[in-house]
Amino acid sequence: MKRILIAFLFLATPCIAGDDRADEAISDALDLLQSRRAKLTEQAELAKLDLAIERLMTVNRQATLAPVQTRRVTSNTETPADRPPSLLPSVKIADFIDHTERYKGQIVTLPLMVRSRALIPQGQTLRDLAGGAARFQGASDDGNRLDLMIDLPRALEIPKLSFGDRAIVSFRCTQGNLQRGNEAVEVRRPERD
């Protein structure tokens, strides 16, 4: 009796609608269980076997009626890094913080605040940091803070922004890292309403 129940559990578990092998296995298990039922005399074993047959028939019915479900393979899901390098539309800061590696190779545009301490002395601007890196900070809608280092190429046209000024920064995320490999493509002041 235990072998029959183990066979039932083993055969009923992998039921997938439309899978011919699973349908055949269920039919074979039902035939086996029904043929064994006639040989059993003890009432308890008979009740267990009836329950097993009923469950197997229910699983078989559900598998036949259920739509075919496919597993989504995570490596096949599209991420921002799968798209050709372009200006990504409306990147959410929270998503960029949580999934920075997905943006590797992409151009990202974010509203940020200049936070480089080198600009604190009077007269220093972001333009003075060209050829080096600058620290920027942003905040998501839910309050998460983004702390980001961005390289500023010498050839890039950079406005005279001071510590604490807001900017719209477009940068290429070359390494999928918040502190390294982010190269500015455009730095501009935000549009005034």
Hey, what's the torsion of the CAs at 50, 51, 56, 60, to 10 degrees?
100
Q: Is 133 helix (H, G, I), strand (E, B) or coil?
A: strand
In the structure encoding, which two tokens stand for residue 183, read together?
A: 């190269």
Report pLDDT for 121. 79
* pLDDT value of position 152: 96
What confidence score (pLDDT) does residue 50 get?
72
- Tokens 């477009």, residue located: 170
Residue 168 CA to residue 186 CA, distance in Å, equals 8
Residues 41-80 have pLDDT tens digits of 566 666 777 777 777 766 666 655 554 444 444 444 554 4
Q: Is the pTM of this model over 0.85?
A: no
Question: Measured at the alpha carbon of residue 163, what is the angle toward residues 161 and 169, in degrees to the nearest 5?
Answer: 55
pLDDT at 44: 66
Instruction: Identify the segments of the chain with pLDDT beneath 70.
Output: 1-30, 32-46, 57-90, 193
In one-letter notation, the amino acid at residue 84 is: P
Indicate the class that CATH gives domain 74-188: mainly beta
